[in-house]
Amino acid sequence: MLWQHVRTLRFKLTFLHVLIFGVILSILSVVVLTVWEANVLASVDERLQDRADSALDSIERAANEGRDQPLTEGVQPQLRALRQSRYYFQLRSATGESIIRSPNLRNVRLPLPSDLNSVKTKKKQVIETISGSDIARLLGADGQMRVLTRYCEVPGVLPFVLQVGLNMGTFNTSRSSLRQIFLMVVPVGLLLAGVASWLLARRSLSPIRRIAREAQALTAAQLDRRMPPPDAMDEVGEMVVTVNQMLDRLEDAFRAQERFVADAAHELKTPVAVVIGGAQVIAQKERTPTEYNRFLVGLLDEMRRLNQMVDSLLTLARADAGMPLIGAEEVSINEIVADVVQRWQPLAQQKSVRLVASLAMPTGEEPEPLVLGDPELLDSMVGNLVQNGVRYSPEGEAVDVEVRLVARSARITVRDRGPGIPPEHLDRVFERFYRVPRVESGGGSGTGLGLAIAKGVTRLHKGSIHVANRDSGGCEFVVELPLVATT
């Protein structure tokens, strides 16, 4: 359960926010503390130096006035003032013996820095924070003192070491309060940031949850369901629109598939039913050889039809959208049309239909109408158009098949003088299994797949196919296929 939460985008977003915020707050706290400490220490050191300067002034003055004991006499007034102060004072000889101390030091001596020699020679002055048993006796267990140690040479006086100390208690208390404040503020800040991010993430992600719920509810039976339109066109809004568009396309594809399967099943069932029916009748009793023969001829007919339909379905499946042409070659459209026309000639003659081919005549400038494609598929496409022309033409009329070069395409036109296609059906004749319902039963037993195949094949060859009724009667199919690039 908890693990499920941890894997949500909402948790990850919140975690990331809190993490970033935490890092920023921590860095900020450390920086503020460090700067504050450095500033306070600088001002402490300044005050220590002031004190040391003024003590040195007094000693110099005492020396100038010719006092016997310029050191003790010079600092005496200051030492008296230091009885209750946080400041401490001590003079030592250059060799380190204590000469005089402020009374608040009682019997404790301010320790000398470890490198007293370097104080004497180079730096002259050292300021450091000191703790230890001596300081602890004076200020308590955690006591710390900031101590300035300066090596001084005053004319008329032996060199000496001057030490001024300041109790760091106040500084330390302020520092630990400040630390405590930060230690409290950071977790509280993080908690607030966490809650705010959690709520914000929930708000921003709620449409996505809704989309997920809707998508879960989608089934094949409810393909028309859509997400409610978004309130704003932000990223999530765009996603909702995109998902809805995708559902539109899915629904279209699914419906087409459904129609196709239903139609295919229906069409395949008819010949099978005819064969079964016929066989049942034949099997009822002993038949004469003539009767068996008639039955077998009928059976053969139905089987041929079935075979043709399965071929058509396979061609359609091959030509279906998106499938690239495998093993495409340069195909002469002239040759294809000539072949098809020759093949259909006997049937046309049977129906007294004149089937006339008019091929493109490549001149010196015009190339041969070559198309990159699959010759079998192209043959089946032209074949279907010619077959329709012959099938739907009344006796004695002509079907013209023409090949022309137009710009960068080969154009194939098939014209007939048949009944034409009623305008309200023009859009649908390319659909699979679609046949124009006709009062006069001209055309016989087609499957309604021919034009769907023609369209599939042209699409596969990146071409186009259109149909229009002719003013003079009949209809005209125009296919345009891009020529092989000559460069």
Ligand X SMILES: Nc1ncnc2c1ncn2[C@@H]1O[C@H](COP(=O)(O)OP(=O)(O)OP(=O)(O)O)[C@@H](O)[C@H]1O
Interface residue list for ligand X (CB under 6 A): 384, 388-389, 392, 416, 418-421, 429, 434-436, 446-452, 475
Contacted entry of ligand X, Mg ion, none for residue 449, CB cut-off 5 to 8 Å set by kind: ligand X
- DSSP one-letter code for 100: E
Six-digit token string for 15: 């975690």
Q: How far is the CB of 454 from Mg ion (least distance, A)?
A: 8
**In the complex, what is the shortest distance from the CB of residue 407 to Mg ion, in angstroms, rounded to a whole number?**
29
What is the distance between the alpha carbons of residues 421 and 171, in angstroms, rounded to a whole number? 101
Nearer to ligand X, 113 or 419 (CB): 419
Long-range contacts of 167-174 (CB under 8 A, 24+ apart): 167/86, 167/87, 167/88, 167/139, 167/143, 168/44, 168/129, 168/143, 168/144, 169/86, 169/139, 169/143, 169/144, 170/86, 171/40, 171/41, 171/44, 171/146, 172/142, 172/144, 174/40
**Shorter beta-carbon distance to ligand X: residue 263 or 335:** 263
Residue-by-residue DSSP string for 313-370: HHHHHHH-TTPPPSS-EEEEHHHHHHHHHHHHHHHHHHTT-EEEEE-----SSSPP-E
Minimum CB separation of residue 472 from ligand X in Å reads 14
Work out whether 388 is an interface residue with Mg ion (CB under 5 A): yes
Q: Report the SS3 class of residue 437.
A: coil
**Residue type at position 123:** K
Q: Which is nearer to Mg ion, 298 or 446 (CB)?
A: 446
Pairing of strands 354-358, 398-406: parallel
**CA atoms 411, 416, 417, 421: torsion sign:** negative
Cα distance between the two ends of the chain: 65
Q: Give the residue with the Cβ less far from ligand X, 135 or 449.
A: 449
Q: How far is the CB of 347 from ligand X (least distance, A)?
A: 13
Shortest Cβ 403–ligand X spacing (Å): 18
Q: Which does 463 bind (CB under 5 to 8 A by kind): ligand X, Mg ion, none?
A: none
Q: How many residues of this chain interact with Mg ion, rule: CB under 5 A?
A: 3
Q: Which of 363, 370, 362 is nearest to 332 (CA)?
A: 370
Q: Are 417 and 398 in contact, with CB atoms under 8 Å apart? A: yes
Rg (CA), the chain: 53
Chosen from ligand X, Mg ion, none, partner binding at 448 (C-beta under 5 to 8 Å by type): ligand X
Least distance CB 228 / Mg ion (angstroms): 45
Q: Which is nearer to Mg ion, 162 or 348 (CB)?
A: 348
Q: Which is nearer to ligand X, 369 or 450 (CB)?
A: 450
Q: Which is nearer to ligand X, 194 or 448 (CB)?
A: 448
Task: Sketch the per residue contact string, 406 through 445, with Mg ion: x for CB under 5 A, - otherwise.
Answer: ----------------------------------------
Tell me the closest approach of the beta carbon of residue 270 to ligand X, in angstroms: 13
Among 389, 450, 463, 474, binds Mg ion (CB under 5 A): 450
Residue placing its CB nearer to ligand X in the complex, 244 or 270: 270
- Can you read off the two tokens belonging to residue 407? 């710009």
484's contact among ligand X, Mg ion, none, with CB below 5 to 8 A by partner kind, is: none
From the list 126-134, 168-176, 286-294, 386-394, the region that binds Mg ion by CB under 5 A is 386-394
The answer to whether 340 and 382 are in contact (CB under 8 A) is yes
Within 13 Å, how many C-alpha atoms sit on residue 248's CB side? 6
* Distance, CA of 241 to CA of 236 (rounded, Å): 9
Q: Which of residues 54-93 bind Mg ion (CB under 5 A)?
A: none
Choose the stretch contacting Mg ion; rule: CB under 5 A; options: 32-40, 387-395, 408-416, 427-435.
387-395
Rounded to a whole number of angstroms, the minimum distance from the CB of residue 205 to ligand X is: 50
Q: Is 369 in the site for Mg ion (CB under 5 A)?
A: no
Stretch that binds Mg ion, among 138-146, 270-278, 417-425, 447-455 (CB under 5 A): 447-455
Q: How far is the CB of 399 from ligand X (least distance, A)?
A: 8
Residue number with CB closer to Mg ion (229 or 444):
444
Going edge to edge, which strands form the sheet with 409-415?
A: 354-358, 398-406, 409-415, 475-482, 464-469
Which residue, 90 or 458, has its beta carbon nearer to Mg ion? Answer: 458
Q: Is the Cβ–Cβ distance between 143 and 167 less than 8 Å?
A: yes
Q: Which stretch binds Mg ion (CB under 5 A): 91-99, 148-156, 419-427, 450-458?
A: 450-458
Cα(78)–Cα(58) distance, integer angstroms: 9
- 103 or 396: whose CB is closer to ligand X? 396
Q: Which stretch binds Mg ion (CB under 5 A): 15-23, 109-117, 347-355, 449-457?
A: 449-457
Query: Minimum Å distance from CB 428 to ligand X?
Result: 9
Give per-residue burial for 60-98: e unless 16+ CB within 10 Å, then b: bebbeeebeebbebbbeebbeebeeeebbbbbbeeeeee
Q: How far is the CB of 315 from ligand X (least distance, A)?
A: 11
Please identify which residue in the block is written with the tokens 């699979």.
Answer: 432
102 binds, among Mg ion, ligand X, none (CB under 5 to 8 A by kind): none
Query: Rounded to whole angstroms, how far apart are CA atoms 57 and 71?
Result: 11
Where does this chain bind Mg ion (CB under 5 A)?
388, 446, 450
